Structure 1
Amino acid sequence: MSHPSVSRIGRTLAGLTAVTACSAGLLSATAPASAAPSPAPGARYESGYPNLAPTPPMGWNNWSYYQCGGLNEQVVLDNARALVRSGLAHRGYRTVTIDDCWMAKQRGPQGELVADTAKFPHGMAHVGQELHKMGLKFGIYEDVGTLTCGKYPGSLGHFEQDAKLFASWGVDYLKADGCNVPIPKGQTKEQAYRALYTQQSRALRATGRPITFSISAPAYFQFSGDALWHRVIKWSAELGNLWRGGADIAVQQSTPAAKWASISGNFRYNANLAELQRPGRWNDPDFLLVGDSGLSRDEMQSQMSLWAVMAAPLISSTDLGRLSPQAQSILGNREVIAVDQDPLGVQGHIVQQDGDAAVLSKPLRNGDRAIALFNGGSTARTLSIRAAAAGLPAADSYRLRDLVTGRNGRTARTLIARNVPPHATVLYRVRAER
């Protein structure tokens, strides 16, 4: 008996309008009334999937920039070399993930996945070996349904076989999508997804190889009501290390305006999920578009700063060989990366919002706070927040460091960012001084 399939959210721009409309009321969704307490920094999980991502994953994925048509072995390895050559790998961008469309349309004679030899003439094990020689990690894509989103073989019915194959290829990271998931009679959509992702999670663990597991299940429940959406996120956090929460980020062919709407929309939904994240279990609002994107410097910097304060995975999707000095400076900013990778592992919370503007506060392990003041509007404005409202302790004064400009300052009680341009974000690291 055939069952209806579920299409991937956001594979085309058709989903962008809905995302933007949903986000028009800034951060309108509600967080759950209570959440499980966060474990101590560096704690090991006694149940569920191994804690293989103590800080948010960083790296590169081909999807947003190249999609299926531009994917091949040379593109992947050229971008990997650019990560190393540019110094971005040294800054933490080390996982190179090959997204959909890498495989042949049919499995091999033993039911095994087979690489598309026109795209990957030397095979996937070779790609993994080359990445490992560069000091990088190898990520790959599959789907828990019957087919991937691009209509290539899915892992349903082959979870153990595929996981063993990935381990034999030296795979370090699996992104498992949720297209074409059949819903058996008598089961709910959630039950079907949970069963398949549970099988994938167990199969990865059984290989004995540490494979970071990225789950896409929550993205397929984004518009199913907050209670169900949040519940899917909670069990995703038991089965893997990170999860895609909602719609895909825009692709390279999108207009700059559509790209900004996508960044803004993904920020708005993800910022509201902070109570569902915990150290080692990460909300993923999708790829960084910093690069050859048509976005302004302020827009690119905003995405980087907002993703960092949300403790989001920093996964670039652009042509790294064509990075402008401006884009490379944004991606490689050590101090912004340090906010994202802070070992305390807490996602920044919204502490103030006013129309299209929002202020987020993220506690850091050494007692500092990262404070992001985001102007999502179309005109410049001055943004401010009192230190107490930002979660800072009482103090005689506060030392501020602008992590983008490198300027230092002090304030007695109010943090101010003057004349913040449209779509720009000011990111301060703040320390109380007594």
Structure 2
Amino acid sequence: MRVSPVPRPPRRTLIVLSAAALCAAGALSATAAAPAAALPTAPGPAEPPGGARAAAVYPNLTPKPPMGWNNWSYYMCDINEKIVLGNARALVRSGLAAKGYDTVTVDDCWMLKKRDAKGNLVPDPARFPHGMAYVGRRLHEMGLKFGIYEDVGTLTCEKYPGSLGHYQQDVDLFAQWKVDYLKMDGCNLPTAPGKTKERTYHDAYRAVSQALVKTGRPIVFSVSAPAYFQYDGDHVWHQVIRWSSETGNLWREGRDIAVEKHSGAKKWASITYNYAYNAKLAHFQRPGRWNDPDFLLAGDSGLSAQEIQSQMSLWAVMAAPLISSTDLTKLSPAALKVLGNRDVIAVDQDTKGVQGRVVQQGAGYDVLAKPLKNGDRAVALFNPGGSARTLTTTAKTAGLPKAGSYELRDLVTKRTSRTTGKISARVPAHGTVLYRVHPLR
């Protein structure tokens, strides 16, 4: 979804962050704060749309949140074969691929402006002189998966040929190229006569979903539909998320994350904004079906070490896809340490497959808790404000069972301590402390 990543005031308050903190981050103006909305109280699984809308559920191809790399946020349209394969090699060389970052996705602008005489999409020979099947082969030789971008409309967001009228033809071509992951955007989709915008999007994404199944190739399907309804009111937005969770494996719910050309302040505002809308949608996620608040920016210029660690920790506790979008060939040791932290990755990839929820809020801070497979809980203390503060919660608030004591492991510093129930830390500005909490007998 190609819209400015600098947040405009939402129609709802998503997670209560203090107006001062959000203003400091550039997320909203002093006059734009909306009344606080209640946290969701219905934690059940997403409900499929009924009646004529019901369709076969797309195969569950992602038992854990997807991980990998996408070029868009860093390179945008400045993309070519050398850049893609160079970043792929960096994934392997850095050890990130071995830690789960295994899908390399080529975003918009990879094709020519016109289809060929048979109606097929044509890779831009100047950008990809060996073609996309070659890119896929090279990625597979590295032990990686191959992702590609298209759009359900007449044109992609950058005005390249969209798939409307060619859904089966295009996904058959992707299957021929051995594509493993399809990101399907929703720009330039005209509302069909006699249909609402929501029904038009539903039918388009359902058609792509069915076409993908017909290829016989297991292709992870990333749905962008909800991002086009974020400001159409919660009822419609949530309905789109519900059917997206049946149509595909993951779905972009809202605004794009910031891009490399933006300032550090705008990037931090974008991270906090995307965190806020995603955290409120935990009740839609279920194991194997993932809310997607967009890319990780670790490695981008302008962000502090605390900010990139916060994004990684928050995305992990929310069981979000961990998809980096930066220049991995120039990744700093500090950024590599954040992206490659096995303990934080383990929280994201936990096989229980549950998105963490906000369990406590105060003026300008959030506490999130995520149940883990072995009975532990991940607990994140998030301070989006401009000065350090001590944040405190309890094992009971985090949903842990009663125990004589608890082991706290800070997943960033690796320090371990014990507590009888109090969970507390001094959290720096724009920081997040992420604990793994284990009840002791």
TM-score, normalised with respect to structure 1: 0.93
Contact 2:383 2:428 in 1 (8 A): yes
Aligned-pair distance for 1:209?
Answer: 0.2
User: Out of 76, 97, 107, which is 1:89 matched to?
Assistant: 97
Aligned-pair distance for 1:21?
Answer: 9.4
Alpha-carbon separation, structure 2, partners of 1:360 and 1:141: 33
* 2:329 match: 321
Contact 2:2 2:157 in 1 (8 A): no
* 1:424 match: 431
* 1:239 match: 247
Contact 1:31 1:275 in 2 (8 A): no
Matched position secondary structure for 1:263: helix
* 1:188 match: 196
Aligned-pair distance for 1:293?
Answer: 2.4
Alpha-carbon separation, structure 2, partners of 1:32 and 1:288: 26
Pair 1:203–1:364, CA change in 2 (3 A): same
Contact 1:29 1:269 in 2 (8 A): no
* 1:414 match: 422
* 2:138 match: 130
Aligned-pair distance for 1:214?
Answer: 0.1
Alpha-carbon separation, structure 2, partners of 1:386 and 1:33: 20
User: Out of 85, 91, 99, which is 1:77 matched to?
Assistant: 85
Q: Look up the equivalent residue of 1:115 and give its one-letter code.
A: P
* 2:127 match: 119
Contact 2:407 2:417 in 1 (8 A): yes
User: Where in structure 1 are there 5+ consecutive unaligned residues?
Assistant: 1-7, 40-45
Match status 1:298 vs 2:306: yes
Match status 1:26 vs 2:17: yes
Aligned-pair distance for 1:89?
Answer: 0.2
Alpha-carbon separation, structure 2, partners of 1:71 and 1:18: 32
Match status 1:177 vs 2:168: no
Identity of aligned residues (%): 64
* 2:76 match: 67
User: Out of 342, 357, 369, which is 2:350 matched to?
Assistant: 342
Q: Deviations over 1:358-409 (max 9, x none)?
A: 0000000000000000001111100010111111111100000000000000
Alpha-carbon separation, structure 2, partners of 1:294 and 1:431: 36
Alpha-carbon separation, structure 2, partners of 1:30 and 1:110: 53
Alpha-carbon separation, structure 2, partners of 1:403 and 1:370: 9
User: Where in structure 2 are there 5+ consecutive unaligned residues?
Assistant: 19-35, 48-54
Contact 1:260 1:295 in 2 (8 A): yes
* 2:156 match: 148
TM-score, normalised with respect to structure 2: 0.92
* 1:43 match: none
Contact 1:20 1:261 in 2 (8 A): no
Alpha-carbon separation, structure 1, partners of 2:361 and 2:263: 28
Matched position secondary structure for 1:199: helix
Q: Look up the equivalent residue of 1:424 and give its one-letter code.
A: G
Aligned-pair distance for 1:417?
Answer: 0.6
Contact 1:183 1:192 in 2 (8 A): yes
* 1:17 match: 8
Match status 1:307 vs 2:298: no
* 1:166 match: 174
Alpha-carbon separation, structure 1, partners of 2:2 and 2:231: 10
Contact 1:277 1:347 in 2 (8 A): yes
Contact 1:38 1:279 in 2 (8 A): no
Q: Look up the equivalent residue of 2:64 and give its one-letter code.
A: T
Matched position secondary structure for 2:206: helix
Aligned-pair distance for 1:219?
Answer: 0.4
Matched position secondary structure for 2:310: helix
Q: Look up the equivalent residue of 2:213 and give its one-letter code.
A: R
* 2:106 match: 98
Alpha-carbon separation, structure 1, partners of 2:279 and 2:433: 16
Matched position secondary structure for 2:87: helix
Contact 2:15 2:276 in 1 (8 A): no
Match status 1:50 vs 2:59: yes
Aligned-pair distance for 1:37?
Answer: 4.0
Alpha-carbon separation, structure 1, partners of 2:349 and 2:199: 34
Runs of 4+ aligned residues of structure 1 deviating over 6 Å after TM superposition are none
Q: Look up the equivalent residue of 1:124 and give its one-letter code.
A: M
Q: Look up the equivalent residue of 1:226 and give its one-letter code.
A: D
Pair 1:289–1:21, CA change in 2 (3 A): farther
Alpha-carbon separation, structure 1, partners of 2:422 and 2:247: 42
Contact 2:257 2:270 in 1 (8 A): yes
* 1:274 match: 282
Aligned-pair distance for 1:223?
Answer: 1.1
Aligned residues: 417
Alpha-carbon separation, structure 1, partners of 2:11 and 2:141: 42
Pair 1:20–1:75, CA change in 2 (3 A): farther
Alpha-carbon separation, structure 2, partners of 1:247 and 1:304: 18
Alpha-carbon separation, structure 1, partners of 2:38 and 2:146: 36
Q: Deviations over 1:180-209 (max 9, x none)?
A: 011022211100000000010001010000
* 2:118 match: 110
CA RMSD of aligned residues (A): 1.8
Alpha-carbon separation, structure 1, partners of 2:352 and 2:67: 17
Aligned-pair distance for 1:17?
Answer: 3.5
Aligned-pair distance for 1:227?
Answer: 1.4
Alpha-carbon separation, structure 2, partners of 1:285 and 1:76: 23
Q: Look up the equivalent residue of 2:73 and give its one-letter code.
A: S
Contact 1:348 1:362 in 2 (8 A): yes
